[in-house]
Structure formats: C-alpha cells, structure tokens
C-alpha cells in the first residue's frame, strides 16, 4: 500500500516538473515575441493544458500497456523509471536545454523494466503489427509508438514550419505589392493577436499529449499493485485505487487520474520555466509575432496528430524544429547552429541516459522478477 502510494506521489512530482520543463517550450515563442508577458502566458498555458489533458486517452493507453510487458512491471519498476526521468529533466532544465520529458519517461520505463526482468529483452514490446485493415503506423510497441515518431515528428516540424512561414511571407509580399495595405506595425499587431490563438492551440495539444503520459504510468502502477495484492487490504473508501486491468482496447483511464494529472501539470506550469524559455525564445532564432504564430501552429498540429494515434512524441522536438523551420524560411544563418547542436545532443542522449538511470536505480532499490 505504502509503496503504491509512493509511486503515485513520484509520478505526480514528475508531472509537476514536466509542467515547468516542457510547458516552457509551449509558451517560449509567445513570450519571446512580447505578445504576452510571462505571467499571462503561463496562465494561458496552465488553462489550455488542463483542458487538453481531458481530451482523449490514446497516449495514456500506449504508456500503460503498449511498450513493456506488464508481467515484469512492479511498483518499484515504476518508481525507478520516474526517478530516472526526473533526474534527467532537472539536469537539462538547470542547463536550459529543452530536452524531451516524453523520451525521459520512456527511457526510464524501458531501462527499469529490463532490470526487473533480470535482463530479458523479451520484456520489452519492440513491435506489434497493426490489426487487419489498419495502416502500418497504427501498429504498437516501441518501434511504432516511440522510434518512428521520434524521427518523423522533428522532420515534420522542420518541413511544415518552413512551408507555413514561406506561405506567410508570400502572402504578405503579395498583399503589399498589389494593395500596399500591410505596414510592418500592422503585420506585427495582426499576428500578435493570431499568436494568442496559436499559443492556446499549443497548450491544448501539449496537455493532450504530455499529461496523458503520467496518467498511463499511474494506471500501470495501480494495475501492478492490484495484481500483486498490495492493494488487497486497503480501506473501502480507497477502493477506487484498485484497477484490475487496462487492456490496449480499454477506453477508460479513471477520471480521478485524469483530473489529478491535469491539475498537477497546470500547477507546474504556473511555477514557470524561464531557463528553457530563454533558450528557445531568445537564443535559437530571433522571433517576431508572425514567426511565433507559424512555429506554434506547426508544433501544435504535429502534437495533436501524434496524440490522435497514441504516439507519445516530444513537445520539445516539435516546437524546436518548428522554430528552426521558420528561421530557415527567413534565412539559414538566422538560426544559431551552436545552440542547435547542444539541443540535439540532449535529444540523442535522453533515452540512453534515462534507460541507464532506470536500470541502475532498480538494481540498487529493487528485486528482479524471476
């Protein structure tokens, strides 16, 4: 009982850190363009993240039942997975690097599960073919739900950001050439208002993707606790903690888990994340409202599409590559490539480092399943 509640507590700590770590990515552009003050942007992000967290459970189901064999998942497995993610998130936050909380969680879970299974790689669900009549990208497992979107979402952000910004440049140029109606100040004002909408869209899509990851982890922990008998003798008023199973086709993550995760992420968002906002909004490329609108619209579209298919993609990857695509449409040397290289190294190292952290922590704290 105590161990299961510890899992829930550590999961909520992870969610709180995710709130000020990853949500900083979602509001970086609207703050850097000075359309909204940090305080107002954080409030907007907190509200839209809260709403987004209730919109669907596809990502939560992927985390809870689509990546590892639940037979090798104990409450200690999940604690170690979360601790690995928390450690990496705090390290990258301290250095202002916009790394992926999504991949930190996945890496920690994979590493801790592998340790729990005493090194049996079969404990990891590498790939699961899609059901008959489904598309290839609707398959399950680490390949389809983590590796493919990990590669495709940054490419999509880069290309789509470049295309949207290029179209906006052409549109503004066309209107100015034929009608001479758009002055620089008018463009800034117009896209300033539009960027408030795109920032809200970004927050909504972030909540729909990121908050659900912790929902899945908590659900997985409670299933493990119920199966092991840890929750067999809890008082009747706590019986809602017992969850018998969460199959891949289950449409229900308990409402209280949704509400708790959504509110915790909103609280973390309110705690801010200025270090990461500074890197994305000021160091990567100089942004104006039109650029912020294009980048946020691009990233939010990528995130919402991924959430629809249950893919736990990285908010960080989506917004960073969207900003890069927008900057490239302006000119290639508008991007500060030294900052880009630091960010990419953080991306590359996230899953291996958190996997090793999860694995090592379990060997110190847990007992493998025989």
- Establish if 252 belongs to a structural domain: yes
- pLDDT tens-digit profile of 18-49? 777 666 666 777 877 788 887 788 788 778 87
Closest residue by Cα to residue 90 from 354, 356, 363: 354
- pLDDT tens-digit profile of 92-138? 878 777 677 778 888 999 999 999 999 899 889 888 776 676 666 56
Q: How far apart are the first and last CA of the chain?
A: 22
Query: Residue 200 and residue 296: Cα distance in Å, rounded?
Result: 9
- Please say if the pLDDT value at position 183 is more than 80: no
Torsion region of 368: left, alpha or beta (phi above 0 gives left; psi -120 to 50 gives alpha)? beta
The mean pLDDT of the chain is: 80
For range 314-342, the mean pLDDT: 79
Confidence category of residue 277, pLDDT binned at 50, 70, 90: low
Partners of 124 in beta bridges: 68
Could you give the 3-state DSSP secondary structure of residue 166?
Answer: helix
Q: Sign of the C-alpha dihedral, residues 32, 343, 152, 252?
A: negative
Question: Do residues 79 and 365 make contact, with C-beta atoms less than 8 angstroms apart?
Answer: yes
Element (H, E) at 141: helix 141-142
For range 175-198, the mean pLDDT: 79
Could you give the 3-state DSSP secondary structure of residue 128?
Answer: strand
Give me the number of domains the chain comprises.
1
Domain membership of residue 98 as a residue range: 2-361
- pLDDT tens-digit profile of 292-319? 899 889 998 998 888 777 776 777 788 8
Closest residue by Cα to residue 54 from 202, 198, 201, 209: 209
- Establish if 369 belongs to a structural domain: no
Could you give the 3-state DSSP secondary structure of residue 124?
Answer: strand
What distances in angstroms separate CA 292 from CA 6, 153, 155, 264, one per listed residue? 40, 19, 18, 27
pLDDT at residue 250 in the model: 43
The torsion of the CA quartet 300, 302, 305, 309, rounded to 10 degrees, works out to -130
- Establish if 162 belongs to a structural domain: yes
Helix ranges (DSSP H) in 66-100 = 75-94
- Please say if the pLDDT value at position 249 is more than 50: no
- Count helices and strands (H / E) in the chain: 15, 0
Burial track 49-65 (b if 16+ CB lie within 10 A, e otherwise): bbebbbbbbbbbbbbbb
Please count the residues of the chain: 370
Residue entry with tokens 């990853």: 22
pTM: 0.77
Query: Regarding predicted confidence, which is higher, 205 or 62?
Result: 205
- Establish if 66 belongs to a structural domain: yes
- Establish if 366 belongs to a structural domain: no
Query: Residue 274 and residue 34: Cα distance in Å, rounded?
Result: 14
Question: Do residues 214 and 22 make contact, with C-beta atoms less than 8 angstroms apart?
Answer: no
- Please say if the pLDDT value at position 208 is more than 50: yes
Task: Express as a percent the part of the chain with pLDDT over 90.
Answer: 14
Closest residue by Cα to residue 15 from 212, 200, 199: 212
- Please say if the pLDDT value at position 229 is more than 90: no
- Establish if 217 belongs to a structural domain: yes
pLDDT at residue 3 in the model: 76
- Please say if the pLDDT value at position 353 is more than 90: yes
- Establish if 259 belongs to a structural domain: yes
Q: Determine how many CB atoms are found less than 10 A away from the CB of residue 123.
A: 21
- Please say if the pLDDT value at position 206 is more than 50: yes
Query: Residue 82 and residue 109: Cα distance in Å, rounded?
Result: 7
Task: Express as a percent the part of the chain with pLDDT over 70.
Answer: 83
- Establish if 370 belongs to a structural domain: no
């Amino acid at each position: 009982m105590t161990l299961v509640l510890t899992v829930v507590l550590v999961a909520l700590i992870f969610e709180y850190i995710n709130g000020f770590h990853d949500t900083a990515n979602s509001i970086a552009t609207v703050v850097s363009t000075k359309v909204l003050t940090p305080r107002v942007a954080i409030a907007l992000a907190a509200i839209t993240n809260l709403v987004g967290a209730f919109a669907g459970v596809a990502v939560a189901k992927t985390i809870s039942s689509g990546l590892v064999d639940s037979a090798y998942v104990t409450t200690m497995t999940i604690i170690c997975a979360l601790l690995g993610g928390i450690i990496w998130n705090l390290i990258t936050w301290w250095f202002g690097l916009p790394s992926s909380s999504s991949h930190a969680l996945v890496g920690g879970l994979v590493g801790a599960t592998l340790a729990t299974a005493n090194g049996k790689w079969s404990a990891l669900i590498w790939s699961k073919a899609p059901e008959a009549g489904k598309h290839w990208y609707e398959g399950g497992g680490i390949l389809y739900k983590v590796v493919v979107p990990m590669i495709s979402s940054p490419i999509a952000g880069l290309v789509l950001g470049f295309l949207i910004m290029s179209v906006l440049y052409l549109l503004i140029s066309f209107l100015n050439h034929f009608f001479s109606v758009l002055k620089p100040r008018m463009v800034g004002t117009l896209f300033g208002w539009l960027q408030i909408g795109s920032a809200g869209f970004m927050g909504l899509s972030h909540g729909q993707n990121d908050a659900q990851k912790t929902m899945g982890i908590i659900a997985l922990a409670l299933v493990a606790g119920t199966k092991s008998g840890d929750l067999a003798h809890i008082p009747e008023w706590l019986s809602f903690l017992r969850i018998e199973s969460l199959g891949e086709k289950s449409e229900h993550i308990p409402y209280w888990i949704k509400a708790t995760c959504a509110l915790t992420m909103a609280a973390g968002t309110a705690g801010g994340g200025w270090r990461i906002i500074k890197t994305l909004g000021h160091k990567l490329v100089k942004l104006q409202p039109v650029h912020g609108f294009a980048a946020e619209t691009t990233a939010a579209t990528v995130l919402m599409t991924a959430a629809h298919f249950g893919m736990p993609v990285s908010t960080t990857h989506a917004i960073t590559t969207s900003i890069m695509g927008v900057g490239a449409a302006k000119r290639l040397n508008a991007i500060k490539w030294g900052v880009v290289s630091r960010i990419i190294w953080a991306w590359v190292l996230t899953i291996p480092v958190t996997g090793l952290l999860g694995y090592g922590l379990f060997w110190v704290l847990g007992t493998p399943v025989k």
